[in-house]
Amino acid sequence: MFDTLRQVLKTWLTDPTPQVSIIQSVPIPLEAAERKSTQQGFIWNTGTPFATKRYRRRVDDVKLLSESALPSRAIKLIRDSITSLEYVIRPKDSDALPEETKALKDSIDTVRMVLDNPNRTDDNLPAFIGQIVEDILMFDAGCWEYVEAPDFIENNDLLSLEVVPGYTIEINQKWNGDPRVPRWRQNLGLTGKEVLFLDAEIEYLMQRKRSWAVYGLSPLETVIDIMDAWLGLASYQREVASSAYPAILVYMGDAATVTDRKDFKTYWDNELRGRGGPGFFGNMGLHQKPDVLDLKPTADAGLYLMYQEQLVRTLAFSFGLKSQDFNMVSDVNRNTSEVQQQASVMEARFPIAQLIGSRFTSRVLPRIAALTGDADILKLKFDWQNLTPEDEKAEADIDAIYLDRDTVTIDQVRQRKGWAPLENGMGQYTLSQYKAMSGLMAITSDLGQKASDQKVKEQQSMPKNNQGAPNGKNGAGLKKSGF
């Protein structure tokens, strides 16, 4: 696999002609192509406003590269760290009262119904988001299609989010915001099939937008040269390890004959090779002292491990990760490990997770609201729980301060955590009120229990008649009646 990838990368780096059927951008005025526009711009296909992204490498080769060791490790780390997050649908107003949140429960359930069953092939949200994250890391093009009233999706007959390979989507550079004009075109390549989409039908996520380019740039595209060097080194290391050759040459002098060389080889094989003890070497008829010539570095230096480590570090920070994420722990200690881990989360996971979350809030939730006619959904937002590792501890400390100072109620804190209000209704109070109410309830309960116990004792201390009933009015009446 190393040799195949290396050959592919060599072709990329030496052949300036792109190995993919794309049309390069041509700087001509748009009116020259269409004879009707007064706008100036750059177009790819003469006469059409749709721009095809010009990848530096063939798409199939980018896919193959993503499956090699280092990029696969980087992509998996970021993907898994996002898909493992729990999400919550909560009111946009962080100060919403508990009763207001409770009134939005049906709307929240509707949104979760769609997100928990996104399409026919992905039975949960993490499976759906994982594909979007990987497309962003590989092509900077995470994409899905909206399908209303989908069939064959259990628990979701409202809206389907169908994953679309982002690299197949082309952008209409002349789109002016008109919802009736196609903004996207899917180019299926060799099949020659093209499908037009309106803006409302396609969602396209780009992490690295640039003012001077139509499309973004993915982390994987930035490490092509690094991967070429790494694959070449890995191929050399494999050759050294599996097909070992001598590290030295012995020069016996110009006067050495063929017989001298044979005698020395026999001596080496019989007396030195494979023996742990010292070897004794005499004149053996040689005309001069043999010289030893080094052919390659020996030990770890011969495998160029330091250079390999440098390549891994470069690839790591291209993805926003740290060297310890690739099991390089030589420069990591207890004090720096946690800091580097938090930095990886903030640089690699946080931006993509925030991009997806904000798009759900701004586009998916309004779409669900329009389909259901439920305006309350517009009051909600998509949010991640514990997106950053320091959130849990920091928020807990802040919540404790707010609660101690009676700044917020208990249910308001629970709402920010995505938890349901307290079932007993006591969450509507501040902490001081809660403690006071709990103390009063405890006193009342204690008094009630004491009164109940006293009544039981009084009943037990009363004399009973023959039928076991206490003497008194009821007992007398029963006796008088003849029972």
Alpha helix (H) ranges present in 67-174?
A: 69-83, 98-103, 105-116, 125-139
pTM for this prediction: 0.68
Would you say the C-alpha torsion 414, 420, 424, 429 has a positive or negative sign? Answer: positive
Least confident span in 10-24, 74-88, 123-137: 10-24
Arithmetic mean of pLDDT over the chain:
77
Residue 144 is predicted with a pLDDT of 97
pLDDT above 70: percentage of residues in the chain: 69
How far, CA to CA in Å, does 83 sit from each of 76, 284, 301, 324, 356?
A: 10, 72, 40, 21, 11
Distance CA 202, CA 132 (A): 13
**363 and 201 Cβ atoms separated by less than 8 Å:** no
**pLDDT tens digits, residue range 394-404?**
778 888 888 88
Say which residue, 254 or 478, is predicted with more confidence. Answer: 254
**pLDDT tens digits, residue range 285-319?**
556 666 766 666 656 666 677 878 888 888 888 89
pLDDT at residue 243 tops 80: no
Most confident range (mean pLDDT) of 108-117, 213-222, 393-402 is 108-117
Distance CA 387, CA 349 (A): 8
Q: What is the mean pLDDT of residues 179-192?
A: 84
Confidence band for 47, pLDDT divided at 50, 70 and 90: low
pLDDT at residue 226 tops 60: yes
Least confident span in 40-49, 148-157, 271-280, 448-457: 40-49
| Contacts (Cβ under 8 Å, ≥6 apart) of 164 | 143, 144, 145, 186, 202
- Return the ∠ at Cα 291 (arms to 290 and 295), rounded to 5°: 135
**107 and 113 Cβ atoms separated by less than 8 Å:** no
**pLDDT tens digits, residue range 367-388?**
999 999 999 999 999 999 878 7
